[in-house]
Amino acid sequence: MRTIKAGTKSPEVYYLNELLAKLKYSVIVSDYFGKETDKAIKDFQLKNSLVVDGVVGLKTWSTLLEKSKNGLSTSSKLLSEQDLINFSNQFKLELAVVKAVNEVESNGKGFLIDGRPKILFEGHVFWNELKKRNIDPKSYVNANTQDILFENYTKKYYVGGTAEYVRLEKAKKLGSDKKIADAANCSASWGLFQIMGFNAVSIGYSSIDEFVDKMNRNEGEHLKAFGRFLEKNNLIGLLRSKNWVSFALKYNGPAYKTNKYDEKLMRAYQKYA
């Protein structure tokens, strides 16, 4: 783990927030080292006889891991070099291109520290998924469902980490109809590449249940889903030609310019090439 501090935005910060949340600190599990994370880490340092500077270096990392009794997900679940080689062969891509996309788009690891795949539940998608199944979402709107069911997109109810599963389970239990559980699973993005569940059948899975089962297995399955998504949306050709701008626009949307995804992809490719 590299040294991080307030203002850092990286996969390591996401893991830090996971550990802090497990230790009962009130932080939002995300990849940004904000005020709440800074406050929590200084409190942790104070209570564990560490230098209270808000900097998470070797000693603070070691103490955090010792206190939480958690390491990273077991190696059997993590993406391997052979997974990337197989992917490049399957889609006739340069290995350097595949490694560049994996580095920029995967945003760290695909599993939480408890072994479940990383998810993000989208309440506005749940609204639409219920409507697709001829279920009126308005009939389920109340004070208790405001964080899982709403008509328009908002980041307001994101909590990150394991707490996203609390929201998912709450949505699945909105009623006994299997259609509601399916709609809920379709309303979360899953794994290393955060593929939305509603894509499952269109990219070749027999059902949302099969997709969720595969997402729970390992990051190799996450990569397979990503490949299917790229193929379905005609993005493979853009990677073969290394058209980073068009790929970033179609995969990340107009915000790619703000986040400089095309530049990050190009630099990562040059490194691996």
Structure tokens, 239: 């990677």
Tell me which DSSP letter residue 118 carries.
P
Range 164-188 average pLDDT: 97
Residue pLDDT, tens place only, 236-271: 999 999 999 999 999 988 889 888 999 999 999 999
Per DSSP (E only), the strands in the chain are 119-121, 188-190, 195-196
Structure tokens, 110: 């695909």
For residues 170 and 157, what is the distance between their CA atoms, to the nearest angstrom? 13
Confidence of residue 75 (pLDDT cuts 50, 70, 90): low
Q: How many CA atoms lie within 13 A of 269 on its CB side?
A: 17
Structure tokens, 101: 């996309």
Query: At residue 18, does pLDDT exceed 60?
Result: yes
Angle ∠(37,41,46) on CA atoms, nearest 5? 150
Angle ∠(229,246,84) on CA atoms, nearest 5? 45
Residue pLDDT, tens place only, 54-70: 999 999 999 999 898 75
Tell me which DSSP letter residue 74 carries.
P
pLDDT of residue 273: 94
pLDDT > 70 fraction of the chain, expressed in percent and rounded:
98
Residue pLDDT, tens place only, 79-99: 888 999 999 999 999 999 999
For residues 219 and 83, what is the distance between their CA atoms, to the nearest angstrom? 9
Confidence of residue 73 (pLDDT cuts 50, 70, 90): very low
Domains of the chain by range and CATH? 11-68 (1.10.101)
Cα 95 to its chain centre, rounded Å, is: 23
Tell me which DSSP letter residue 167 carries.
H
Strand partners, 218: none
Strand partners, 189: 120, 196
Range 153-178 average pLDDT: 95
Instruction: Please tell me the pTM assigned to this model.
Output: 0.79
Give the largest CA-CA distance in the chain: 58
More confident residue, 170 or 252: 170
Confidence of residue 164 (pLDDT cuts 50, 70, 90): very high
For residues 180 and 129, what is the distance between their CA atoms, to the nearest angstrom? 9
Range 215-239 average pLDDT: 96
pLDDT of residue 70: 59
Of 186, 144, 148, the C-alpha closest to 164 is: 148
Q: How many CA atoms lie within 13 A of 59 on its CB side?
A: 11
More confident residue, 75 or 259: 259
Provide φ and ψ at 218, rounded to 5°.
Answer: -165, 170
- The answer to whether the CB of 13 falls within 8 A of the CB of 32 is yes
Range 105-125 average pLDDT: 89
- The answer to whether the CB of 194 falls within 8 A of the CB of 120 is yes
Tell me which DSSP letter residue 201 carries.
T
Query: At residue 72, does pLDDT exceed 70?
Result: no
